[in-house]
Amino acid sequence: DTNSRALLFPMEKVFESYVAQNLKRIMSELNWDISLQDKGFYLFDEPRKFALRPDIVITRDDKSVIILDTKWKSLINNSKLNYGISQADMYQMYAYAKKYKTSEIWLLYPVNEEIKDLNEINFKSDDNVIVNLFFVDGKNINESITKLKNKLVNIELYQDAI
């Protein structure tokens, strides 16, 4: 017989916004275009249906594209269970790769105790789609996003060297 009040937040939106705003701030020194909730493509063109809306689309100076998508999910340290990544999320990333014509896809998850010490995790298809995982530390957001920025810059340097 007790009443209480609660304040609920859609944490997936809070996490997405927090990561995106910090990413834009930390990467502002680069001459890269950063688009949030990009509306550039549809899954089907005739009729134009099923809009694709990656959370973050980065277009580098050379016009190559990197897709980043945030997921408010707690992953597990078990590769046999795909770390807890849903198959639907991977289908979504694959569709982004094909429509945006990029092989650089990043899934951004909040870090947790179980996965904080994992090495780099990525998934590669035989048609050159690479989905990388990155764990965002919300408590140390500046350090975390700077680490991601360095990874993205190093990818560009690596591709320039090829």
pLDDT tens digits, one per residue of 18-31: 999 999 999 999 98
Cα distance between residue 93 and residue 6, in whole Å: 35
pTM: 0.88
> What integer pLDDT is reported at residue 156 of this predicted model?
55
Q: Are 9 and 67 in contact (CB under 8 A)?
A: no
**Span 34-60, average pLDDT:** 90
> What integer pLDDT is reported at residue 110 of this predicted model?
97
Q: Are 132 and 107 in contact (CB under 8 A)?
A: yes
pLDDT at 123 > cutoff 80 = yes
Tokens coding 93: 């990333």
pLDDT at 116 > cutoff 50 = yes
Neighbouring C-beta atoms of residue 18, cutoff 10 Å: 17
pLDDT at 158 > cutoff 70 = no
> What residue has token string 């996490």?
15
DSSP assignments along 95-143, one per residue: HHHHHHT-SEEEEEEE--TTTTT----EEE-TTS-EEEEEEE-GGGHHH
Chain mean pLDDT for the chain: 91
pLDDT at 162 > cutoff 60 = no
Residue with the larger pLDDT of the pair 13 and 158: 13
> What integer pLDDT is reported at residue 155 of this predicted model?
72
Cα distance between residue 162 and residue 157, in whole Å: 9
Percent of the chain exceeding pLDDT 70 equals 96
Radius of gyration over alpha carbons of the chain, in Å? 17
Residue 130: partners with Cβ closer than 8 Å, 6 or more residues away:
103, 104, 105, 122, 123, 124
